[in-house]
Structure 1
């Protein structure tokens, strides 16, 4: 997109109207608020729905299988973002991608809200994965299009937008978790209503507030390319459907094998990304050096997210089975613990932003911040093994232990997540800037693909070893990364 086109888009957006920001930020703030409301509301109760007995309204899957499916689902959501970004850039633009994605997500939640079979559950997962892949990366791109590159409000605008994400993520588990005891399907229905409200907000206000933002197709396919794309896609879909039908009917493709395939892809895809970028003739020597520096950061990110993302799997199960849910005279829903992460981010994000400004050039380097993030992640798992060490695995645990674990890992998240996004934009080769951002999100996909394999080892009798080994591994990796930080910094060639 040329600078002229960028400025034309900026000029089309009313620049004053939402806390001194472009009016379109109001549209995108509430669209993302409701989308995250629906996503995190569904996610807060999904693992319980999978392993609760049929008599309690669940699907009756084995706990280990439910935990693995939950991890695979998270991995696929991040992988699908690559497809969603490509389709927006080449086919229909980011605004339409957001709308189409919202429709698919809503249909997925409606499918979950209808009492049905395991087949209906998997259909809903496909819809939500594809929908989130279309909506999630592209709504952020529309935010960026509303500001000129020299607009000092840009970072603050993204901060306000990020607050919308966390507000939706904070509120929904509290509501849906309360409904879970009445009916899982009622909870999923509320998630569907949330996405519907987000779509209504987007459609009603986008013309007036967004102008041309999101309407431009950055690198459109030619008519012949488009015809070829739809032909190949149609044939591939038919072949894939036939292969899936045959392999499932013959028992060749089981849930366990599917989990294994996604686990392999979670590692293989980012490896191919690194290889292609490093070997490309468009990548300069300095950029190759920076890519080498990015590899240990990527590995650290995978380790961190492998622990953080278990908040919706292992720790959710821990909240349900191992935690005392009567506290200070109140009955606590196990889904409510899913609100802790966004709550702590809302409270602590401004503190961290202030701290980095205050420290200035005295703040830790990027590799040092990543190493500290791994330290906190490891400590969050070591903390949660203490109740079993002190009182055994056959007694219910004070919920404050779980609160403390979530709090500690959020300290690590604020050291790694925003820093990682910033580092990715700085270290990316110019010819692969967008792909490198996709690579950053693939670290979470890889982490959850790995989780799908390791969550199966979690049982009451292995609880202490599970948390101890993973938490200890994170701390060891933290120390190694801290010691290598000066060397990694050298490979960054001036980036700090």
Structure 2
């Protein structure tokens, strides 16, 4: 989109009305609030649903396998953003892509709410993976469309949007988790489906009035010749995958473990190919190539950060269920409630960070420096988990306050890195790959969880001190290295803060 088209689009968006920000931010805020309510509500009980015994309402899967499935599921959710970004950039535009994604997510939660066993589990995962890939990167891209590139409200707007995500994430485990663990897992999944339905209603009712032309532009549409070629490639790919799946399952050699390992490899290969494709594209200018080079170390830093943060939904969830005292100050705690800690702290601290960045203005840390701080805090969140094992051993239950401290530290890192990363992605993106660049940002999370699918296999109570110590130490060292190289990266960003 050239500057004139951008100016035309901005004129159709009411620029005031939501905490000093464009009114369209409220539409995207509440759409993501309900989408995250559905996703994090489902995620709060999914691990327990997989490894609880059948007589406790679960599927009875091996606990280590369940942890790997959770990681690879999260990886595929973010990896599918490639599809969503491509469809938005080349066929539908971000606005319509978001709507269709919400429909698929809702269907996935409905399937999961039905007692269909392992088959229903994987079918629902397929719908949610595809739907989230269509919706999530494109909602964030539309937030960027609400502001001009030099609008000083931009970073603050992303922080407010990020707070909306986490408000939904905070409430969901308390409601869905309580109902799922107390009454019935499937009833909990049904409530998650209702959450996505509410998000779709908000989006449809307010979109035209508040978003104007945002999300309607297709930046790099397919030509008629490209459409025919693309349809053939997709059709052949689907047929080949179906044949491989059929013979693999019936022949017994396509196991869950082998699929997980294959996806873990894809988690490294796909973002590498993505960078190469955008860098070598004739549609990418010389300055945009420099931006991409600056983005690579930021991507790696984000990948390491998410590798720690995302273990809150599997390793730390297991730790909460198996190693933690589930009572505090006379209150009985559900293990799923710990999933509310991360968004709770973000809701409380996001306004503080948003105000702080605006207040500091030109004196605030550069984007690479903020990333390095995020890595250091993430590493510390794992380092503190060594202490209970040394003090009390691994046989006794530990105070829930250790988990509270760990989640608090990783949130400090997340607020330094994640909303800033979203903003930096929209600013460093080549014009021809705007939505796909947001998909690349989400791939940092996908790659992290793909690696986690293998890493989590090394965790057990006997090795937890080494496990937390090694991973936390690696993050801290990389954070320090990034901080030292921040001035050089700033030069590659060519004036973009």
TM-score normalised according to structure 1 size: 0.92
The 1:198/1:277 distance shift into structure 2, 3 A limit, reads closer
The 1:437/1:465 distance shift into structure 2, 3 A limit, reads same
Deviations 1:157-201 (A, max 9, x none): 444332221111111111011102211101100000111111122
The 1:77/1:382 distance shift into structure 2, 3 A limit, reads same
Q: C-alpha displacement at 1:434, in angstroms?
A: 4.8
Alignment correspondent of 1:95: 95
Q: Separation in 1 of the partners of 2:289 and 2:213?
A: 37
Alignment correspondent of 2:374: 373
The 1:118/1:133 distance shift into structure 2, 3 A limit, reads same
Alignment correspondent of 1:382: 383
Alignment correspondent of 1:176: 176
The 1:363/1:309 distance shift into structure 2, 3 A limit, reads same
Q: C-alpha displacement at 1:304, in angstroms?
A: 1.1
Bigger shift: 348-357 or 396-405? Answer: 348-357
The 1:249/1:308 distance shift into structure 2, 3 A limit, reads same
The 1:436/1:4 distance shift into structure 2, 3 A limit, reads closer
The 1:167/1:24 distance shift into structure 2, 3 A limit, reads same
Conserved? CA contact 2:84–2:439, under 8 Å: no
Alignment correspondent of 2:469: 468
Alignment correspondent of 1:453: 454
Q: Separation in 2 of the partners of 1:188 and 1:284?
A: 46
The 1:274/1:143 distance shift into structure 2, 3 A limit, reads closer
Alignment correspondent of 1:295: 296
Alignment correspondent of 1:39: 39
Q: C-alpha displacement at 1:89, in angstroms?
A: 2.2
Q: Separation in 1 of the partners of 2:333 and 2:299?
A: 37
Alignment correspondent of 1:213: 214
The 1:127/1:45 distance shift into structure 2, 3 A limit, reads same
Bigger shift: 81-90 or 313-322? Answer: 81-90
Q: C-alpha displacement at 1:246, in angstroms?
A: 0.9
Q: Separation in 1 of the partners of 2:206 and 2:294?
A: 43
The 5 Å alignment of 1:360-439 reads 360-428=361-429, 434-439=435-440
Deviations 1:461-488 (A, max 9, x none): 1111111111122223233333444554
Q: Separation in 2 of the partners of 1:422 and 1:126?
A: 29
Conserved? CA contact 2:79–2:443, under 8 Å: yes
Alignment correspondent of 2:30: 30
Alignment correspondent of 1:262: 263
Alignment correspondent of 1:49: 49
- Structure 1, unmatched stretches of 5+, are none
Q: Separation in 2 of the partners of 1:224 and 1:429?
A: 24
Q: Separation in 2 of the partners of 1:104 and 1:360?
A: 41
How many residues align? The count is: 496
Backbone CA RMSD of aligned residues: 2.6
Q: C-alpha displacement at 1:362, in angstroms?
A: 4.5
- Structure 2, unmatched stretches of 5+, are none
The 1:271/1:73 distance shift into structure 2, 3 A limit, reads same
Alignment correspondent of 2:129: 129
Deviations 1:200-246 (A, max 9, x none): 22223334444443333333333443344334323322221121111
The 1:203/1:355 distance shift into structure 2, 3 A limit, reads closer
The 5 Å alignment of 1:7-26 reads 7-15=7-15, 17-19=17-19, 21-26=21-26
The 1:436/1:150 distance shift into structure 2, 3 A limit, reads closer
